[in-house]
């Protein structure tokens, strides 16, 4: 069994991050049933993936496309979660109950019932000074 080293693979894919991502994708593909391009030799799928990359027996471009498609399938949508929706509906129900009891105009009119709107603000200042 020939040992594969990262140095062998870095010659083919210089960026180590890309190397790890592509090797992991290839290992997932092998686990899912993709055909091998080299002998297994009792190696695990990640080792086989690295050996395939080092021996250039797989197309790197196809592997990159497979990786991109795999990542795109798991894109999270910007929809609120169910718990958030429950919270929003509860808040809206509470707001609706309060508004139903006292509509906004009734709240405002009740605030000014005690105030004498006919009084002039200047009159109040002169009475305090006297």
Residue 117 resides in a domain: no
Q: What pLDDT does residue 100 have?
A: 53
User: Which among 54, 70, 50 is positioned nearest to 62, based on CA atoms?
Assistant: 70
Residue 123 resides in a domain: no
Same domain, 33 and 48: yes
Q: What pLDDT does residue 36 have?
A: 94
Same domain, 66 and 22: yes
Q: What pLDDT does residue 1 have?
A: 44
Write out residues in the chain with pLDDT < 70, as ranges.
1-2, 73-85, 96-130
Same domain, 47 and 33: yes
Residue 124 resides in a domain: no
Domain that holds residue 21: 6-72
Residue 126 resides in a domain: no
Residue 129 resides in a domain: no
Supply the DSSP string of 34-101, one letter for each residue. PPPSS--TT--HHHHHHHHHHHT-S-HHHHHHHHHHHHHTTPPP-PPPHHHHHHHHHHHHHHHHHHHH
Residue 108 resides in a domain: yes
Q: List CB contacts of 30: < 8 A, sequence separation 6 or more.
A: 36, 45, 48, 49
Residue 121 resides in a domain: no
């Amino acid at each position: 069994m020939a040992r594969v080293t990262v140095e062998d693979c870095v010659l083919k894919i210089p960026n180590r991050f890309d190397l790890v991502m592509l090797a992991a994708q290839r290992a997932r593909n092998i686990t899912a049933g993709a055909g091998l391009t080299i002998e297994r030799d009792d190696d695990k799928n990640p080792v086989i993936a690295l050996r395939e990359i080092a021996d250039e027996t797989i197309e790197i471009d196809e592997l990159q496309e497979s990786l991109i498609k795999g990542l795109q399938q798991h894109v999270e949508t910007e929809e609120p979660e169910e718990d958030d929706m429950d919270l929003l509906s509860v808040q809206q129900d509470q707001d609706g109950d309060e508004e139903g009891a006292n509509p906004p105009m009734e709240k405002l009119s009740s605030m000014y019932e005690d105030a004498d709107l006919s009084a002039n603000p200047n009159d109040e200042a002169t009475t305090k000074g006297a």
